[in-house]
Amino acid sequence: MATLYTHKDQNIAKTWVLMGVFLAVVVAIGWAVSWYFNDPAILVFAVLFAVIINVGSYWYSDKLVIAMSGARVAQDAQYPELHNIVENLAITAGLPKPKIFIIDEAAPNAFATGRNAEHAVVAVTTGLLSMLDRSELEGVIAHELSHIGNRDMLVSTVAVVLVGFVTLISDFFLRASLFGGNRDNRGNPIIAVLAVALIVLAPIVAMLLQLAISRKREFLADASGALLTRYPEGLASALRKIGSYSQPMRRANNATAHLYISNPFGPRAAASAISKLFLTHPPMQERIQALLGK
């Protein structure tokens, strides 16, 4: 019978497999572009540019996300119970207490960000605080602390760097081709067609892999959070309530959507396996069933 422990182990393994496939896509597109143009300098420039931009975003991720979400500092005197829950769970998880922020939004939601445990941030909406009871709120906070403990920010950043790299190389290739780039050394026309197809399709594949990694990290944080509280029913009940709220957040943003515990644009139907590929979060019912072992 599947347990939270097996779900956690499975999700860790699946995440690393996805990252491995991601790296394979990067290597493949790198080979295709360098072979097509016979110019390795293109790859050097693209890698340096993508890494500098994305690592800079990672380093200042907490400040950027807080500004984009419109969050404010949660004062101890105004939110004593929230501070108490965060502090107790952080001690249990062996983590420093993160900074706590409040987002003035009716939609129930929460996120964690920051480049490491020492610079982590947890933010919750006012709607979440008003909708959940203590055990449910503990489940949500444990989920967010699990993102910090599992170093999901690092995994997400690696994924963003790789997506940025793939997209940049593909865009450069298409622009260079339009202006008649170096085609003297393309060699076998069949390989040339395959290389072009790979370069054109690679950004789509990279985006799908990034979304898949995001979904797996949500499953992993659910399992880790439930293990932290030893009460999976609390988080399952919280997810059920969060999933029942249909309105999007006022400041929902595609750049930060994957950080939240629930899609900030509101629940989206995933009637088919194809539609699920384009979701930043797993369907809420699947998350609840995994927590309750159904």
Task: Dihedral sign for Cα 56, 60, 65, 68, please.
Answer: negative
The pair of three-digit structure tokens given for residue 120, joined into one six-digit string: 């982590």
CA distance linking residue 18 with residue 209, whole number of Å: 7
CA distance linking residue 133 with residue 51, whole number of Å: 42
Catalytic residue among 81, 144, 218, 233: 144
Mark whether 286 is an active-site residue. no
CA distance linking residue 242 with residue 218, whole number of Å: 15
Yes or no: say if 121 and 62 are a contact pair by the CB < 8 Å rule: yes
Task: Dihedral sign for Cα 103, 269, 136, 231, please.
Answer: negative
The pair of three-digit structure tokens given for residue 28, joined into one six-digit string: 């493949």
Q: Which residues are marked as active site? A: 144
